[in-house]
Structure 1
Amino acid sequence: MSADAVMDPDEYQAPETYERFVEDLRRSATAAGKPIIDPKLFARALSMDLQALAADAHVHRVTVSRAQGSEKLQGFLREALQVLRAATDISGDFQQALFWFRNEPISTFDYRTPEQLVSEGRTQDLVRYIQALRAGPVG
């Protein structure tokens, strides 16, 4: 796909790196003429259906298609990106961070997944947890 080609969210596959993912999101926003994160592209990269994304963001399912700039939806997407960035920084592997975000229960947070924690508004707690992992044991 050329750098100027418009991406079809239905055909999108998550890239190997976080940086490329953000670049894909940026190109999608530029092509649409809107400085927002494309929820369809985001959902496709995480193998998430749009209804699940809407539920995570606490918006109506129609919002994902018709009101993509919704602050509530965009807020969830920005916070998810923040967590994915932090997780990628620790693991060095964006694909591993994607899997972790969707699937790994964290005992510290009553076995909730990172996706659930972001949905519950606990992004900063999660980021602090990731930073603590990065810092390693103290003492």
Structure 2
Amino acid sequence: MASAAFLSEVTGEKGVSPDRLSAALHITKSELALAAGLSRDAVSKAARSQSVVTQARLREVSEIINRVIPWAGSELAAYAWYRSQPLPSFGDATAEELVRQGLGEKVRAYLGRIAAGGFA
């Protein structure tokens, strides 16, 4: 089961906060933008960070990392998994690569299947 602590840590009144998410993962906003498949402006300008597309991507990143924290042991280890672990069901693409391609929902479904005891 995923922990709500990480999600509440990175979420503010207006959705996922790029500032909070980058701080929680100890990365820059530029690195966050790259990891989510967004432009630097999308995470650094207030008006753009609230757009539907930006919020959807940031939510996917944060929910995937949140799901992996119990298995990885920490937020930083979960982020390392997100960036580097090849997923066999997706031709060994990483979760980061899939989110950048707009396939974050498929990664979340994949993690849900694994959490329910399914196969990768």
Q: Normalised by the size of structure 2, how large is the TM-score?
A: 0.71
Deviation for aligned residue 1:42: 0.7
Q: What is the match of residue 73 of structure 2? A: 93
Deviation at 1:104, TM superposition (A): 1.3
Larger radius of gyration between Structure 1 and Structure 2: 1
Q: Alignment partner of 1:121: what SS?
A: coil
Q: In structure 1, list runs of 5 or more residues that go unmatched.
A: 1-16
Write the letter of the residue equivalent to 2:34.
A
Aligned runs of 1:25-40 on 2, under 5 Å? 25-26=10-11, 29=12, 34-40=13-19
Given candidates 89, 102, 115, the residue that maps to 1:108 is 89
Q: CA RMSD in A?
A: 2.7
Q: Does the Cα contact within 8 Å between 2:82 and 2:94 map onto a contact in 1?
A: yes
Unaligned runs of 5+ residues in structure 2 are none
Q: Structure 1: which amino acid aligns with 2:15? A: I
Report runs of 4+ in structure 1 exceeding 6 Å deviation: none
Larger RCO (CA under 8 A, 6+ residues apart): 2
- Determine the structure 2 residue equivalent to 1:23: 8
How many residue pairs get aligned? The number is: 115
Amino acid at match of 2:95: P
Structure 1 Cα separation of the partners of residues 114 and 63 of structure 2 = 16
Identity %: 25
Structure 2 CA distance for partners of 1:21 and 1:134, relative to 1, 3 Å: closer
